[in-house]
Amino acid sequence: MTQMARTPFVAALAEAPLPASATAWLDQARRQNRDAFVDAGLPDTRVEAWKYTALRALAQRRYASGDALALERPVEASLLALPGSDGPALVFVNGVFRADLSAFDALPDGVDLRPLSRALAEVPESLRFALSRHYRGPGDAFARVNAAFASDGVVLRIGAGIQVPVPVRLVFVGAGAQEDLAWHVRNLVDLGVGSELTLIEQHLSTGGQAHLGTGVADFALQSGAKLHHVVLQQADTGSSLVRRSHYRLDARAQVQLHALELGGALARHDLRAELVGDGAAFRTDGAFLPNGRQHMDTQLAIHHRARDTLSSSTWRGVAGGRGRGVFRGAIVVEAGADGSDATLSNKNLLLSSQAEIDTKPELEIYADEVKAAHGATVGQLDERALFYLRSRGIPGDQARSLLTAAFARVPFESLPDETLRTYVEQLLLARLPG
């Protein structure tokens, strides 16, 4: 991309200084990824992974890089409260770790939890494999930006056989500033053989802002490890949030993901899973609820690479106003992954004539003795169920609200923690028209 062809978004990042580092390999990786981004620019809708998410408006924005005042931004304690979760939490404000808002207590021996900024200062070589990656795909623009500019985030390593008794929370807050900012976080989570962890990831906002946040997270689960990952995304409706989460599961490892997407003018989450060990299991349950002019894009790609692996995905979308939702669910059962079992369901509900949801299930099978099923629907409320409720004396608006809430809460009925499940249901009810 020539200088004349650069959009304001690309030009701003091309001019922004890279984070300072005294580590040669990290400086090189940052330069390579920034140069690759500047050369290729943002993807357009001709790139299959971005077919339904146009970035023309974002391309015209110029974001300031980083927040020099992040350590001073006020954050109310009530914003960070989560019912039933008083254990360890790492809090980041505009991409910067806040020790004054964080807590490291209640962690057993064998658990190493620290901000990435501290890990880079203390044990940089242990991060070399993860942070020296050069992203090369046509749709990898934001991963390149993140690799170039992220200087903070989370490093969490759990030793073999360790069962963390309380949930660990990662809280990312977008706080108001004098100008719109671009901030970036990089997370690395490694579960040792037979370890277990519940991880709650929250995206929150305060002060009203229209920032851009990017996040890249790698989850590595060794044999027999178990991870329950809960994602609650409530960013400001004027902000943009683009994330990528990659899970790698060894033999008999298990991941259960629950995800709720509520915020952001533009909110995109790429979820990628590689089941590389025999008997690995990956389950995802989630919902996205775009309203107003929000655009929410969920990209789910699951690769079965080993025998007797299992994946199960249940997703619901509810769009109101002029909101637009995108869901792509791709399952690939590769040669040699015999005995795999893969199911995916995406059902969507439109609450207005101007709302839109595009759903694209994909299934590729290159192995034998495989069980696989996938399907997707887009429609409106069941008129027969609505008539039944109204015939029982329930007013029309209340009947619609009851049916919509019942539809949206299905993915969260499998949440094992009752307090957290109740909290999620309250978020859904507060969001849905009543």
pLDDT by residue (tens digit) across 257-281? 999 999 999 999 999 999 999 999 9
433 pLDDT band, cuts 50/70/90, is low
Segment 284-294 shows an average pLDDT of: 96
What's the pLDDT score for residue 144? Answer: 97
Q: Is the pLDDT of residue 388 over 60?
A: no
* Mean pLDDT of the chain, nearest integer: 92
State mean pLDDT over 123-128: 93
In this structure, what token pair is assigned to residue 130? 């993860």
Which pLDDT score is estimated for 394?
66
The tokens of 253 are what?
Answer: 């490892």
Average pLDDT over residues 303-308: 98
pLDDT average, residue stretch 73-78: 94
pTM value surpassing 0.85: yes
Show me where the domains of the chain are located: 75-113+152-431
46 exposure class (CB count in 10 Å sphere: 0-12, 13-18, 19+)? exposed
* Interval 312-322: pLDDT, tens: 999 999 999 99
The answer, yes or no, to whether residue 389 has pLDDT greater than 70, is no
Task: Please tell me the predicted confidence (pLDDT) of residue 208.
Answer: 84
Question: Residues 18, 30: contact at Cβ < 8 Å?
Answer: yes
Using alpha carbons, select from 305, 252, 261 the residue that is nearest to residue 285. 261
What percent of the chain stands above pLDDT 70?
Answer: 94
Tokens 């894009």 — which residue? 297
Between the alpha carbon of residue 318 and those of residues 291, 292, 325, 391, the distances in Å are 8, 12, 8, 25
Alpha-helical regions (H) of 150-280: none
pLDDT given for residue 4 in this prediction: 43
pLDDT of res. 119: 95
The pLDDT of residue 395 is 67
Coil, strand or helix at 109: coil
How far separated are the first and last CA of the chain, in Å rounded? 49
Rg (CA), the chain: 21
**Token duo for residue 139:** 């749709």
